Amino acid sequence: MLNDTLSEIRVAGHTGRPRSRPDRVLADKGYPSKANRAWLRERGIATMIPERDDQIAHRRKRPGRPIDFGREQKERYKRRNVVERCFNKLKQWRGIAMRSDKTARNYHAAICLAATLQWV
């Protein structure tokens, strides 16, 4: 699921065609699988994905290289909260939360409308 999402992302730059590979990925505790981390590592994308508690406990039993967030990375991860709150407000709209639109075009239009009204 993570690789499908990242394949659709376009990172706008200064000029020319948008890049299709971000510099880093910030994700929540739902994406820390070995497969996701390996896929991102192969493509040279830095990750900021916290580990789940069960993975931390498992790693303590089998020591290896710990995942360490530096101070700058922790601050950047905290700003992720803004994006999460935006998604939460968009999902207050029943049509968006239930994905009741029949076509992707209509769903995209509903998201644009809800985001515009939220912004205003």
What is the model's pTM? 0.51
| Together in a domain, 2 and 20 | yes
User: What local confidence, expressed as pLDDT, does residue 8 receive?
Assistant: 80
| Owning domain of residue 102 | 79-120
Task: Report how many domains make up the chain.
Answer: 2
Q: Which amino acid is at 106?
A: N
Residue 46 and residue 70 in contact, taking contact as beta carbons nearer than 8 Å: no
pLDDT digit string (tens) for 14-71? 777 777 788 888 887 777 788 888 888 898 888 888 777 777 777 777 766 666 667 7
| Together in a domain, 57 and 15 | yes
CA diameter of the chain: 51
| Together in a domain, 3 and 42 | yes
User: What local confidence, expressed as pLDDT, does residue 69 receive?
Assistant: 64
| Together in a domain, 42 and 2 | yes
Candidates 35, 39, 67, 38; CA nearest to 51 is 67
DSSP code of 17?
A: S
